[in-house]
Structure 1
Amino acid sequence: MNAVEIEEAVSQLAEAPFDPEAFPYAFLEAFGNKATTIKRLKSTGKASTNQSDLPGGVLQRNNIHLKVCQEGEVTATLTALHESPATTRYKVKFILATDGKTLEAESLGDGETVACDYPDFADHFGFFLALAGITTVRQIRENAVDIKATGRLNRLYMELLKQNPDWDKAENREMFNHFMARLIFCFFAEDTNIFHSEGLFTQTITQMSAADASNTHEVLSELFRAMATPLEERGAAGIRNWADRFPYVNGGLFSGSVEVPRFSKVARSYLLHVGNLDWKRINPDIFGSMIQAVADEEERGALGMHYTSVPNILKVLNPLFLDDLREQLAAAGKNGRKLLHLRQRLAKIRIFDPACGSGNFLVIAYKEMRKIEAKINELRGESDRRSEIPLTNFRGIEIRHFAAEVARLALTIAEYQCNVLYLGQQEARSMFLPLKNDNWITCGNALRLDWLSLCPPTGTGVKVQREDLDLWGETRDEAEIEFENEGGETYICGNPPYLGSTWQSPEQKDDLKQIFDSRTKNWKSLDYVAGWFMKAADYGTRTNAAAAFVSTNSICQGQQVPILWPLIFETGHEINFAHTSFKWANLASYNAGVTVVIVGISNHAGKVRYLFSIDDQNQTIVKESENINAYLVSGENVTVEKATKPLAEVSEMTKGNQPADGGNLLLSRSELDNIQFSPEVKKQFIRVILGSEEFIRGKQRYCIWIKDEDVKTAYDHPVISHRLKAVQEMRLSSSKAATRQSAKYSHQFSEVRQKGDEQTVIIPSVSSESRDYLPVGFLPKGSIVTNLAFALFNPPLWNMALIASRLHLVWIATVCGKLKTDFRYSNTLGWNTFPVPTLTEQNKADLTRCAEDILLAREHYFPATIADMYDPERMDREFPLVREAHDRNDEILERIYIGRRFKNDTERLEKLFEMYTEMTSHQGTGKKTKKGKTKGGK
């Protein structure tokens, strides 16, 4: 479940008649607990999972202890829940007591409490979101109205589509979206006194539209017509008296058609319900990112997940330009001249988000700049001075029409709220209406539009060739934009669509082709977000700009690094700040979010670059650096390339054996049992075989493995002989010459890389990114490894300790990249390039013991599989010995590298890249770039 679905379920529970027996279970169900979980809680005896030690109490371990009590005993019951030994023993997060009249609850982690009338507890649903695994969004607890508004608007939207199917057709969808934008504005305006009378819009609909909704569309149409008509023209226009009370708004929002979809009785009810919410509390920072999904058919199923937290947005905006402005403010002190210059600078800054969605980045940037400006005015004794920061300096491109409308609306609301905050409501209202006709959000494909036209480096007279310039007015093919900020800075920012190459549509691939095809022929493996980085770099060659985008970390890993980043660097841009990998979470239950990085680029980067990272205690640390390379590591601009032999003194790694047998040399456990080979035949010809899946999931698989000297004996066995002939026929019919050639030795795999008698270290070629360690293993003699894994044959066991380390995992993740979302291992790119210091015999002995300890810890939990033991949700709880063995391994290995534990993965990578650069330069394989920085050789 996501936050919108949870809010709806909690609201329905609060509105329903109170049932004391059913309440605890209905409450848990509202927060996403499945029917089977509820059934186990309700059951009695040994099967019950209810751990409460209070009569009538319900305790879900690691979650909540709640109890329904007699009327008037809520406070005493909450105390009893707090003092319950079971509450402590089972690590409860929340306690809750209710008698159906009032409700009290406490979050035991931070001591926060809720006390309210029972029907109002739905207003506090955000307080309990941790019950659904949503723990990252404190703002939602303080702005529950945003979630409510999203859910209610979605219900209204869907009901209107049901009544007006033609409005969902492509030719009418923009009109429908425009209608929804008008509604949102009216709901906000009536609750913030913009309409001069609180609740005027909703009250008018209630009074003037029939209860059966037969004329609701006519009432709304007349209201919209009034808001589009200047006061002096209303008499001639025949505006109805009850609509004439509304001010003139227009500004494009109410121009054009005032046609309204027809309402059902249910849709009218939803409309009034939305209107009765407290829209004064709407937060444009986060509202837009959720509401944009209402009008997007593809995203509607994930309604409520489209949330971008303010702290995450500030991770982009602060180092991009806000930190500098705040430093200038602090440095100015009370110097009036310096403060004036800073205020003038603020008025000329342009913020440009070429993938603006519903405007989150633009809204936050605007509000933060207004905060700085207000402080300047206060220090200069001019607190009543109107803002000189124009909304038209906050420009965006968005491909979805409704999201573009919401972005402009969110900025308009943000401007009004800032004016109320800094100038007072009366002054803010006098400035607000009528809305201006200016348009600063373009609806279109950012990778096809000319950014210099939309956000030009010069002042006036810039002609723009594009459609849909006037989002809230009539479409125009050509227009002229004027800026009041010639000579100002431009900061490009945002969170563009990521989309790896596998998931790109033909149109999106063509977008990238238009940008990259003339620069490189290897662009097809680039993520879609790479297009924004390249266009930002091109833009920066023509104007005073810097850019920073949120991106999947894959553009700074593996094969994309040598494709994309040399092109960026060739434009004169460098990475001036970056935030290494962190989770960009949303509002879905138990959703870890996508792993992202933030990369800032500039062609006038200063001497000091800032690298932000999360340490092992989940604290943000900042490192100053002279250079940040494309792998987001403090150090030289090095590119890691494949090596045919290991750079360090370690065993050689190869791919496993390639069958190319049509399945005839492979056997499942059931096939092996059904054939009933004699013990002698099994011993001579049948081996255990493992690829990535078999090793990780513990699946049993076998193969026929025949040495050259045993071929004649093998053909004497009818089943084996039949299978070998089938292999020969399959290979002879292949279109590949090499496969046909291998038909000569059909008793063997087509590519044999081991004798079959070796002890083997196996490394899966693909492994889930969620694991903290690569699932390397040690196989007994006789085990065969397929080409779906890598292997070290007869290696010293300390090699396994290297591969099992956190150090090796972060190296693989960075230089090898991923297959979809999984780590993709490579012997030539990952193992052969892995920097290892010279090891003493004692070092090797210590690491051998570490590898043995890891294997013994796994053995302790037999028959648990690698997948079980390395599941991040279960490792610490169910398999602590495995975690402890890895911790010891990391402790010993990292002390070999630097004499202590590394603080985080960023520090690990810095050391590894430093060693890699040194190792490749010593071998004489490094190449110098124009800036004298090393490029790793083969």
Structure 2
Amino acid sequence: MNAVEIEEAVSELVGAPFDATEFPFAFLQAFGMKETTIKRLRKGDSNASDVAGGVLQRNNIHIATCAVGAVDATFQALRHSPKTISARAKFILATDGQTVAAEDLISGETIAPDYPKLAEHFAFFLPLAGISTVKEIRNNPVDVKATGRLNKLYLELLKDNPDWALDARRPALNQLMARLIFCFFAEDTGIFLPQLFTRTIEQMSDSRSGNTHEVLAELFRAMDTPPAQRAAGRFRPWADQFPYVNGGLFTDATDVPRFSRLARSYLLRAGELNWQEINPDIFGSMIQAVADDAERGALGMHYTSVPNILKVLNPLFLDDLRDQLAAAADNTRKLRNLRRRLARIRVFDPACGSGNFLVIAYKEMRAIEHQIIRRTGDAPKSVIRLENFFGIEIKNFAVEIARLALLIAEFQADCVYISQHEARAMVLPLHRTGQIHAGNALRMNWLEVCPPPAKTLVVEQDLAGPTGRLALEDNGLADSGEVETYICGNPPYLGSTWQSAEQKADIELIFGKISNLWKSLDYVCGWLFKSAQYGANSTSRAALVATNSICQGQQVSILWPLINNYDQKIIFAYTSFKWANLASQNAGVTVIIIGISGPNYRGKKKIFYTSETGEPASKEAENINPYLYPGPDIIVKPKFIPQGTLHSMEWGNKPTDGGHLILSSMEKNRFLEHHSHATKFVRRYVGSQELIKGTLRWCLWITDENRDEALSYSLISDRVRRVMDYRANSSSADTRPTAAFPHRFRQIQNTAGEFQILVSGVSSESRDYLPCDLFSRNTIASNKVFCLYDAPLWNMSLVASRLHLVWIATVCVRMRTDFSYSNTLGWNTFPVPKLTEQNKADLTRCAENILLVREGHFPATIAELYDPEKMPDDLRRAHDENDEVLERIYIGRRFRNDTERLEKLFDLYTKMTADTPRPTKKTKGSSAA
């Protein structure tokens, strides 16, 4: 269940007569508990409660109902219950149907509302449904409630007016929702008379005659007509009392869909909420899902947290403003100069959605301006104009909501920093709100959307005359200072595999003429590149949230030279972290934040990261390279032959068989019990999971020479036939021809050696070393591992070193934050000094020692041995010795930290590749993952 559905379910529960016996089960159902779970609790099979009237769900909640007046005693019984502790309950809740007492046992937070008001605290319990909460949602549930009310109304209108669901009319329906939101907000904040809109609908519309659409049309027409044009009798008296709104919000609003009796009730129910409490940076993001059929399942969970947004905005420009404010102290001249600067700042989000970044930027700038006003005693009316906030958004409804969110944010700020009376006097008629444009940002000219002005505009541009807002001339704040533009946002990421045909066309349009590798780029690269283009033609900086893959692997060598061509450099960066919405079961995508600027940037460059203790940390850098590492702008390009004397590394063998050539241990044993002479057709099969976890799998390994003998066994012939069918019916044109040899793997690399060193293709970031191991020639390596066939053992010493892990972690692609190995980018480029025979002998001894220590812990797997919390001391010592020997070859001592390791590796890489021509042909079996 999503947050909106939960709020509605809890509201229905407390609205019904209290049933002490049923309450615990109904409460759990409201949070999405499965029916089978509820049945087991009812039967008592899984209910271990030791409190009278109690229901205990392990790892979740201990609930108890009680007699009237006994809530406190029951609550204490739950708190001190041994079962509450042993079952690891996260919450306790006691109620008598009149009052409630509950506690979050993890945070220690408690609530004690009257029973009918329990629904107002639904967000307190959202972790029961696997939904993480944020402070803003828990403290202000009206955003979720409003989303739910409007969603029901929206769906009912679509049901009653199917023609409005068509693409041609959907934008009009979306705009209707924006108008309703404004009216609800206006009547609860004093912009209109209290409850004017809802009361008028209730009194003047009739559910039986179905005239709600006519009443709304008349109201909207009145709100779009200036007082001077309101001739006597032109409007019905109940419509004429509505003020002129302007701002384009009610233009051409005479066409309104019909409202059924149910739709009208949903409309009135939405009006019952206190819309004054709406938080625009939360509500806008969630309400966006109402109009999106694909996103409605996550209704109420579309929320970008303020702390994450500030990770973008603070280092981009807000921290600089705050530093200037602190430095100004009480110096009036400096403070007024800072206020002038605020008036010249423009914020531009080219993927703005419902305007979260713009709203937060506006609110933070107003807070800074308020501090200036307090110190100078100047007039409190703001010089920060909404027309300095620009956006591009492809979804029409989100555009409307973004404009409305900015308007609400401005009004709320005026109420706080000026006064409610003056805020109400200034808000109507609406002046120009944020300049949010509908369209595809990758196909629009940003210099036209947010044109670099020749000078600061000092007179407010209003659609219908003065609004009472402060012109910059007031208090002598106008000057000819340069306008600052800050690009920010969280564009869609989408790796190349997941892009639609239209999105691929967008990327080709941008990169197709300048790079033949554009197909490998993530969708977000388009926004970063256009930000660089914009920066080359304006005074601007940009900071975007992006997938970490654009600073890893092959994309670095494709994208960043193009960015640098516009003389744009990285000025700050957040290394990989999770960017998630409200749903904790959605782990979120792993992202980075990158800030770029032109050569005029004079500030300190910073890298923000998570320290080894898990705390946020930062460090300054002279330069930040595309790998988000403090150092020169070095770009590692794929190599198809190894550096120096490194042994050649290849992919494993690729079956493309639909699983029919692969056997479990049970299948293998059953086959060989009946056909002991068929042993030669069965080989051990090792991929990443088998290498790391030690699981056993097997494969049928059949050569052309022994094919006829192998097919004489029915199990083999049946499986080979299935492989042939699978390949012949494949959607891949490259796979279908391989149906001609279904008895063998589609791609066979090398099986002629005596032994092979296998390296896992993917590995957890939690390990201190990359998983690798030594296998005999009889083992068949899958395409999930990389192989060093018959390589001298000192090569394994390199793979198993901290140095190599640091290199792989920096230059190769990551799967989220886990390591994804690459031979062409990670092994072939690995910088190794010239090794003497003695060096090789020492490294061989170290590798042998690691293998011997592992053998001594048999049958422990690599996953068990390399668990950072449980790694055996002797194995850690063996790796320490390996690192000691290898690092002394590099610099004559151990490196102090990973930063120093990377400095040396990049330095060596630069020297080794200075005169190396780039190969033009890819060799068989190589990978540029």
How far 1:257 sits from its partner (Å)?
Answer: 2.8
Q: 1:331 to 1:763 in 2, by over 3 A?
A: same
Report the alpha carbon displacement of residue 217 of structure 1 after superposing the two structures with TM. Answer: 1.6
Greater mean deviation of Cα atoms: 766-775 or 264-273: 766-775
Distance 1:585 1:712, change over 3 A: closer
SS at match of 1:701: strand
After superposing the two structures, state which structure 1 stretch, 311-320 or 206-215, moved more. Answer: 206-215
Q: Deviations for 1:669-696, whole angstroms, at most 9, x for unmatched residues?
A: 7875676676652444432223457667
- Of 508, 514, 517, 2:509 maps to 514
CA distance in 2, matches of 1:297, 1:343: 44
**CA distance 1:811–1:922, change in 2 (3 Å):** closer
Q: CA offsets, 1:114-145, max 9 Å, x none?
A: 11111211101111222223335222111211
Q: 1:804 and 1:53 mapped to 2: Cα distance?
A: 53
Q: 1:279 — aligned with what? A: 275
**Given that residues 406 and 433 in structure 2 are in contact (C-alpha distance below 8 angstroms), is that contact kept between their aligned partners in structure 1?**
no
Secondary structure (helix, strand or coil) at the match of 1:65 reads strand
Aligned residue runs from structure 1 range 535-546, under 5 A: 535-546=530-541
- Cα offset for 1:767? 6.5
Equivalent of residue 556 in structure 1, options 551, 559, 576:
551
Partner of 1:751: helix, strand, or coil? coil
- The match for 1:150 is 147
Q: Does 1:631 align with 2:620?
A: no
User: Which range is displaced more, 532-541 or 584-593?
Assistant: 584-593
Give the distance between the partners of 1:704 and 1:133, measured in 2 at CA. Answer: 46
The amino acid that maps onto 2:538 is T
**SS in structure 1 opposite 2:335?**
helix
CA shift digits 1:880-920 (9 cap, x unpaired): 97852389967985797699xxxxxxx97644532321332
1:130 maps to 127
Aligned residue number for residue 80 of structure 2: 83
Distance in structure 2 (CA, Å) of the matches to 1:62 and 1:74: 23
1:493 to 488, 497, 503: 488
Q: Any idea what SS the aligned residue of 1:368 has?
A: helix
How far apart are the structure 2 equivalents of 1:4 and 1:854? 52
Deviations 1:388-411 (A, max 9, x none): 111100111111111011111000
- For residues 877 and 419 of structure 2, what CA distance do their matches in structure 1 show? 59
Q: Could you say which residue in structure 2 is the equivalent of 1:526?
A: 521
**Aligned counterpart in structure 2 of residue 105 of structure 1, from 97, 102, 106:** 102
8 A Cα contact 2:217 2:253, kept in partner: no
- Once the two structures are overlaid, the 10-residue window that deviates more, 227-236 or 144-153, is 227-236
Deviations 1:842-894 (A, max 9, x none): 865774477458864449xxxxxx7xx8xxxxxxxxx9978523899679857
For residue 447 of structure 1, give the secondary structure of its aligned residue in structure 2: helix
Question: What does 1:745-756 correspond to in 2, within 5 Å?
Answer: 751=748, 753-755=750-752
What is the alpha-carbon distance in structure 1 between the residues aligned to residue 723 and residue 27 of structure 2? 64
The answer to whether 1:426 aligns with 2:421 is yes
- Partner secondary structure for residue 826 of structure 2: helix
The C-alpha deviation readout for 1:729-754, integer Å capped at 9, x for no partner, is 99xx9999999999999999973523
Q: 2:497 aligns with which of 498, 502, 509?
A: 502
1:172-183 pair list within 5 angstroms: 172-183=169-180
Residues 187 and 623 of structure 1: CA distance in aligned 2, closer, same or farther (over 3 Å): same
What letter matches 1:176 in structure 2?
L
Counterparts of 2:340 and 2:68 in 1: how far apart (Å)? 63
Aligned counterpart in structure 1 of residue 572 of structure 2, from 577, 587, 593: 577
Q: CA deviation at 1:768?
A: 8.3
SS in 2 for 1:286: helix
1:325-724 equivalence runs, <5 A: 325-382=321-378, 384-437=379-432, 440-459=435-454, 487-603=482-598, 604-606=600-602, 608-643=604-639, 653-657=649-653, 681-692=677-688, 698=695, 700-704=697-701
Q: Structure 1 residues 446-455 or 150-159, which shifts more? A: 446-455
Question: Paired residue for 2:190?
Answer: 193
Q: Distance in 2 between matches of 1:373 and 1:470?
A: 22
Do the aligned residues in 1 keep the contact of 2:724 with 2:739 (CA within 8 Å)?
no
Q: Is the 8 A contact 1:347 1:485 kept in 2?
A: no
* Rounded Cα–Cα distance in structure 2 between residues aligned with 1:888 and 1:326: 52
Q: CA deviation at 1:62?
A: 2.9
State the Cα distance separating 1:155 from its structure 2 match.
0.8
Secondary structure at the counterpart of residue 347 of structure 2: strand
The code of the aligned residue for 2:906 comes to T
Q: How far apart are the structure 1 equivalents of 2:202 and 2:809?
A: 59
* Residue number in structure 2 paired with 1:141: 138
**Secondary structure, aligned partner of 1:170:** coil
SS at 2:11's partner residue? helix
Q: Which digits, 9 at most, give the CA deviation of each residue in 1:617-640, with x for residues without a partner?
A: 331101101111111112222222
- Give the direction of change, closer, same or farther, for the CA distance of 1:605–1:343 in structure 2 (3 Å limit): same
Aligned to 1:37: 37
Which residue of structure 2 aligns with residue 476 of structure 1? none
Structure-1 residue corresponding to 2:15: 15
Distance 2:614 2:284 in 1: 29
Q: Secondary structure at the match of 2:560?
A: helix
Mapped to 2, the partners of 1:728 and 1:423 lie a distance apart of 75
Evaluate the alpha carbon distance shift between residue 148 and residue 271 of structure 1 in structure 2; reply closer, same or farther with a 3 A threshold.
Answer: same
Letter matched to residue 319 of structure 2:
D
When residues 729 and 494 of structure 1 are mapped into structure 2, their CA distance, relative to the original with a 3 A threshold, is closer
Contact 1:495–1:549, Cα closer than 8 Å, also in 2: yes
Asked if the contact 1:351–1:492 (Cα under 8 Å) also holds between the matched residues in 2, the reply is yes
The one-letter code matched in structure 2 to 1:417 is Q
Letter in 2 for 1:54: V
Letter in 2 for 1:21: T
**AA of the residue aligned to 2:588:** G
> What runs of 5+ residues in structure 1 fail to find an aligned partner?
463-468, 473-482, 860-865, 870-878, 900-906, 930-936
> CA shift at 1:414, angstroms?
0.6
Aligned residue for 2:442, secondary structure, equals coil
* Distance in 1 separating the partners of 2:767 and 2:93: 35
Percent of aligned pairs with the same amino acid: 53
- 671-680 or 242-251, which moves further after superposition? 671-680
TM-score, length-scaled by structure 1: 0.84
| Distance in 1 separating the partners of 2:60 and 2:251 | 52
Alignment match, 1:4: 4
**Is the Cα contact below 8 Å between 2:831 and 2:909 reproduced in 1?**
no
Partner in structure 2 of residue 914 of structure 1: 903
Helix, strand or coil at the partner of 2:824: helix
| Paired positions, count | 881
For 2:627 and 2:541, locate their aligned partners in 1 and report how far apart those are by CA, in whole Å: 20
The letter of the residue matching 2:6 is: I
SS at match of 1:551: strand
Gaps of 5+ in 2: 465-477, 834-838, 886-895, 919-927
In 2 relative to 1, CA 796–389 (structure 1 residues): closer, same or farther, beyond 3 Å?
A: same
For residue 312 of structure 1, give the secondary structure of its aligned residue in structure 2.
helix
The one-letter amino acid paired with 1:57 is G
What is the letter of the counterpart of residue 494 of structure 1?
G
Aligned-CA RMSD value? 4.4
Residues 658, 723 of structure 2: 8 Å contact kept: no
Q: Which moved more, 1:231-240 or 1:241-250?
A: 231-240
Report the Cα distance in structure 2 between the residues aligned to 1:890 and 1:10, rounded to whole angstroms: 53
Following TM superposition, by how much is the alpha carbon of 1:437 offset from its aligned partner in structure 2, in angstroms?
4.5
Specify which of 866, 885, 889 is matched with residue 871 of structure 2: 885
- CA distance, structure 1, for counterparts of residue 765 and residue 714 of structure 2: 42
